[in-house]
Chain A
Amino acid sequence: MKKTLGSVLKRRREALGLTQRELARKLGVKASHIAYLENGRRRPSLSLLSRIADTMGLDKQSLFVLTHPEARTLIGARREPTRKPSSDQVWRDFVGNRVMLRRYQIKPRELRVLRQVNMLGRVATPRQFLFILNSIRQAVDEEG
């Protein structure tokens, strides 16, 4: 299947577990506008493109080239994005560390909560996930 801006946006949105409405709210646009972008009926403005990249953790230059394929030769764009969002890397490091998950006895339900935290895109290190988790565990203990 040919890679288009719409297909990239849809795949990423679904990977983040967002509905079109939720994404639209984050971007400050109407849900119908997201639908138009995903089915290729609209091109985003440059400012919206920038917000999409920041919100969804996507590479701005790649999105620009997908939006304006004719610009590929002008800017010598890469064929594939080479930089993954750093917050995703932190999450992969965290869930990939089986030893740590066992040591801290992290349950699937807790991982689901931390996954939501990761989707905010603001966690810098696996240690922050542990700190947040321990704070929540303390509160749960207080509730008995």
Chain B
Amino acid sequence: MFARNYVRDLRRLLGYRELLALIAKASEIWPRLNRESVNIPQPARMAEMAAVMHLHFKAAPYRGPEGLALRGFYVDHGQNLLKRPLVYVNTAHHPVAVVTTFCHEIGHHMASDIFRGAGELVHLFVDADYAAHLDDSTELAADVIVALAAYPEPLARKIFGCQTPLSGLVAQAGALGDEQLEQVRERVEGHFGVNFKSMKSAPQKLRYLAGMIHFAKLRWALLEEFDT
């Protein structure tokens, strides 16, 4: 994940039209998406939002080492299984991770129309399995919603805008520089209230840090590839 060229992966898996369609659909729920930060909703508010989208919604803790590996999942309707899609988020995680999962699963719902026929019936969000997301257009599309929600365009330009002197065909989002990484960490700790130092589980802290870097690199790639 750390060595991946996110621009190349984004270009390979997601077209500009698909991105615009994705943003348009997500804006029906979050009208200020990519213009302002998305507020962190409580599970009750998530349930209300899911109801507006005619989704089944389940927010419950699933603990234990193997339980925490599961961040959430999205089950599409069809195949005579469900009349409405199902979103599950594992609330045993840090509240910010729960919101991230919610945005990711809602992203699947948005992407299901755009990639209709190409997606799986069930999408599992496994903690820190981000490298796999870079090989799957529906997973990447779902992550795009998270990246846009966490880093609206004005902020993304401020943090990543001057990172690469090159653009266009040779653009790439490789390793984050120290300065950008520091701004990303300040954003995650300051705005979202994540305190990495207070986390007792070192493996879990590493998984959350991996998520922080993944979504930052993806946001940077969106800016580089699509100027969005």
Report A's interface with B, CB cutoff 8 A: 22, 25-28, 51, 54-55, 109, 113, 116-117, 119-120, 122-125, 127-128, 131-132, 135-136, 138-140, 142-143
Contacts and interface: CB of A to CB of B under 8 A. Distances in A.
Contacts of A140: 81-82
A25 B137 contact: yes
B118 A25 contact: yes
A28 B82 contact: no
Q: Which of A25, A51, A127, A139: most chain B Cβ within 10 A? A: A139
A123 B124 contact: yes
Main DSSP-derived SS at the B contact region: mixed
Which range holds the interface residue count of chain B?
20 to 34
B36 interface: no
A117 B125 CA distance: 12
Given A51-B135, A127-B66, 10 more contacts: A28-B13, A113-B79, A122-B132, A123-B124, A124-B69, A132-B73, A132-B122, A136-B75, A139-B75, A139-B84
Contacts, number: 69
B88 interface: yes
Nearest to B83: A143
Interface in B45-101: 56, 58, 62, 66, 69-70, 73, 75, 79-84, 86, 88
B120 interface: yes
Contacts of B83: 143
Contacts of B136: 26
A142 B88 CA distance: 15
Contact of A139 (B13, B69, B86): B86
Given A28-B12, A55-B135, A123-B124, A138 B58 contact: yes
B19 interface: no
Given A127-B66, A128-B66, A139 B79 contact: no
9 contacts: A22-B118, A109-B80, A113-B121, A116-B122, A117-B124, A132-B73, A132-B75, A132-B122, A143-B84
A43 to B, nearest CB: 20
Contacts of A22: 118
Contacts of B66: 124-125, 127-128
B86 A131 contact: no
Closest 3 CB pairs of A and B: A139-B56, A139-B86, A122-B126
B37 to A, nearest CB: 30
A27 B9 CA distance: 11
Contacts of A117: 122, 124
B186 interface: no
A133 to B, nearest CB: 11
Given A25-B118, A116-B122, A136 B81 contact: yes
Given A128-B70, A139-B82, A120 B124 contact: yes
Contacts of A132: 73, 75, 122, 124
